[in-house]
Structure 1
Amino acid sequence: MSTLSGSSILITGGTGSFGKAFIRHALDHLDPRRLVVFSRDELKQYEVRQQVGDDPRLRWFIGDVRDERRLARALHGVDFVIHAAALKQVDTAEYNPFEFVKTNILGSQNVIEAAIDAGVQKVVALSTDKASSPINLYGATKLTADKLFISGNHYAAAYPTRFAVVRYGNVMGSRGSVIPFFKKLAGEGRPLPITDVRCTRFFITLEKAVEMVVDAFELMQGGELLVPRIPSMKVTDLAHAVAPGAELVDVGLRPGEKLHEEMISPEEGRRAVSVGDGKYFVIQPDLASWGYVTPKGAQPVPGGFSYRSDTNDRWYSQEELSAIIETPL
């Protein structure tokens, strides 16, 4: 039985791609006593309610993570929190930096403070590969949020609340994913723009992302930054899988975009271990006043370890990409 079964769960940003996938998984497999969907857009909440039906275990809270008092009200009686709310568009962040700081950094602090005050047991925050060695403002705000959640365990050391972070790559089929964009262009017979034909990326399915978060609640002591061992892919292979034979046009990297993605930097690699029979890496906290210990069975990673999409030892084939793309979300 899952740790989450029979509990009260709240998910911030609950009407996003991850949130919708988690709601379906939780209702079908986790049997929560109560599932609180916390998000700021009433239209998206209405649309998701039409999709998932009127399950009596669901509660719908309009609210913004920038509003700590609203979070405090929503967290009353909640056992577990998934923090998925964030502003995520790289180019939008460069033009609207203050807004990204308010949501991704100050909003994260609000979630931490409210969770401790409400006596929440465990909080798992969603991060991104762009938080590792960030070169854009979005990545910098997410790295800051990661560190806030890890350090939140110091603030909560005398309380029951514990915090952990999961960091993964691009999500296939999520809002903003390149796959629907490529499909649209291919359907119109237009060439597919490739930022750089050398680009590699980490890609994870929504199903695997949800599975990882559920696993994090089982594995965590507090202070972990959990990274999945997932395959890399060449962006050109993805384009050919979406539209075989389509013309590809090299348009160059956008501002703030990397040629290859990274999920564990060399500096973070010094604190990394492999857990779950090699399913995940854990970046362990530097300082753990709350009593974190290295997990039983954890395996050390090689010296000088880093985890990048271009040097990964696992790769999607074009056939595997085609099969994933054809799977209904």
Structure 2
Amino acid sequence: MFKNSSLLITGGTGSFGNEFLASCLLNDDIKKVVIFSRDEMKQWEMSKRFSHEPRVRFFIGDIRDKDRLMRALDGIDYVVHAAALKIVPTAEYNPFECIKTNILGAMNLIDACIDKGVKRLVALSTDKASSPINLYGATKLASDKLFVAANSYSGQHDTRFSVVRYGNVMGSRGSVIPFFWNMRDQKELPITDLAMTRFMITLDQGVKLVWNALEDMHGGEIYVKKIPSMKVIDIAHNIAPMAQHKIVGIRPGEKIHEQMIGIEDAAFTYEYDDFYKILPSINLRGDIELMSRGGKLVDKNFSYTSDNNTDWMQPKVLAAWIKANLSKEI
């Protein structure tokens, strides 16, 4: 399906964008990949990393700027939307800016993709979009709703939109593992809550979920990867076993446990071997059988949270990941 195709990644200079671009370049069918972001320095650094690859293009722009998006999307077949303001406390203190990027930016991208005839878009979401208690999660929930509903909004253009949702990306900038790693030589580590749990996913798993969604999507699905959970205190013990722990309390807008599928979505959720698929509650394309093919409807009382997860990451697995990855620059 990607034969002679062009692909654009919004927010493409982040951890996900770097990993996803590398996977794109393994596919000889893809003729061009455009990195769309607003940070010229990150683009400059990324361009040096991929200087050997003539298929990569860099485009300075902001998803808040619809005209710039229209220019960037000219001739693009597929879009992966990773651009977002995503630091929870930052969003709490800067709500206007978070809304402009995460919601208004999503609206701009939907319009531009439809007008430019993009075939498919997959938007990256977060566990914080499920039953959100913070502004970041609320804006991503709104964004998810926009992309799902956009499938009816696209009309005769037949541009299709879907969403992937996953939890804490191991090793990504600002996440707990590199945070603790950078403090590993200190005598004390700050712990928000002894009971706190988080979903854990590798960048590679996140990238594979997006490829799966691009190939499988009918339009309107939310794909949720099955991934293990881990207690934050166990991460701290693993990284700095000799350090003392100082309980500092949760930050504004944080949850003790994260949720990726709430009980309210159980009636529309289908289970597969490696992921769940939440179908739209509004019947957009009239073929639920096609959208749910190969899946099994979950129990009506089903929910998927980091504390009720049946899959837990063992400390030795985390230790192996740290050994393999934290010797690199994060």
Q: Scaled by the length of structure 2, what TM-score is found? A: 0.95
TM-superposed CA distance for 1:218, in Å, is 1.1
Q: Any idea what SS the aligned residue of 2:155 has?
A: coil
> Residues of 2 paired with 1:274 and 1:159: CA distance?
30
Q: Match for 2:184: what amino acid?
A: A
> Residues of 2 paired with 1:180 and 1:157: CA distance?
44
**In the superposition, relative to structure 1, how do residues 155 and 303 fare at CA in structure 2: closer, same or farther (>3 Å)?**
same
Is 1:56 the counterpart of 2:54? The answer is yes
> Residues of 1 paired with 2:230 and 2:82: CA distance?
25
Q: Match for 2:274: what amino acid?
A: K
Q: Which is further off, 190-199 or 295-304?
A: 295-304
Is 1:197 the counterpart of 2:194? The answer is yes
1:246-287 superposed Cα distances (whole Å, 9 cap, x missing partner)? 222211111110000000011012210013xx2110110111
Is 1:312 the counterpart of 2:305? The answer is no
Is 1:288 the counterpart of 2:283? The answer is yes
> Residues of 1 paired with 2:143 and 2:180: CA distance?
31
> Residues of 2 paired with 1:211 and 1:17: CA distance?
14
Q: Check the 8 A contact 1:11/1:82 in 2, yes or no.
A: yes
1:65-96 superposed Cα distances (whole Å, 9 cap, x missing partner)? 00111111111111100000000111111111
Task: Give the 4+ runs in structure 1 shifted more than 6 A.
Answer: none
Q: Match for 2:285: what amino acid?
A: W
Q: Check the 8 A contact 1:154/1:288 in 2, yes or no.
A: no
Which residue of structure 1 lines up, in the alignment, with residue 240 of structure 2? 243
Which residue of structure 2 lines up, in the alignment, with residue 271 of structure 1? 268
Which residue of structure 2 lines up, in the alignment, with residue 15 of structure 1? 13
Partner residue of 1:179 out of 177, 180, 191: 177
Q: Scaled by the length of structure 1, what TM-score is found? A: 0.96
Partner residue of 2:294 out of 289, 294, 297: 297
Q: Which is further off, 318-327 or 294-303?
A: 294-303
Which residue of structure 2 lines up, in the alignment, with residue 158 of structure 1? 156
TM-superposed CA distance for 1:29, in Å, is 4.0
Q: Check the 8 A contact 1:222/1:292 in 2, yes or no.
A: no
Q: Which is further off, 45-54 or 144-153?
A: 45-54
TM-superposed CA distance for 1:31, in Å, is 4.4
> Residues of 1 paired with 2:70 and 2:264: CA distance?
36
TM-superposed CA distance for 1:53, in Å, is 1.9
> Residues of 2 paired with 1:142 and 1:326: CA distance?
33
Residue correspondence of structure 1 range 37-56 to structure 2 within 5 A:
37-56=35-54
Which residue of structure 2 lines up, in the alignment, with residue 90 of structure 1? 88
| Structure 1: segments with no counterpart, 5+ residues | none
Which residue of structure 2 lines up, in the alignment, with residue 71 of structure 1? 69
> Residues of 1 paired with 2:187 and 2:28: CA distance?
43
Q: Match for 2:283: what amino acid?
A: A
> Residues of 2 paired with 1:11 and 1:274: CA distance?
28
Q: Check the 8 A contact 2:220/2:284 in 1, yes or no.
A: no
Q: Match for 2:213: what amino acid?
A: A
Q: Check the 8 A contact 1:89/1:138 in 2, yes or no.
A: yes
TM-superposed CA distance for 1:214, in Å, is 0.6
Which residue of structure 2 lines up, in the alignment, with residue 217 of structure 1? 214
Q: Any idea what SS the aligned residue of 1:76 has?
A: coil
Q: Any idea what SS the aligned residue of 2:184 has?
A: helix
Which residue of structure 2 lines up, in the alignment, with residue 99 of structure 1? 97
Partner residue of 1:233 out of 185, 207, 230: 230
Q: Any idea what SS the aligned residue of 2:25 has?
A: helix
Q: Check the 8 A contact 1:162/1:222 in 2, yes or no.
A: yes
> Residues of 2 paired with 1:29 and 1:246: CA distance?
45
Q: Check the 8 A contact 1:157/1:290 in 2, yes or no.
A: no
| Structure 2: segments with no counterpart, 5+ residues | none
Q: Which is further off, 26-35 or 56-65?
A: 26-35
RMSD after superposition: 1.3
Q: Match for 1:297: what amino acid?
A: G
Q: Check the 8 A contact 2:197/2:256 in 1, yes or no.
A: yes
> Residues of 1 paired with 2:40 and 2:57: CA distance?
13
Q: Any idea what SS the aligned residue of 1:64 has?
A: coil
Which residue of structure 1 lines up, in the alignment, with residue 134 of structure 2? 136
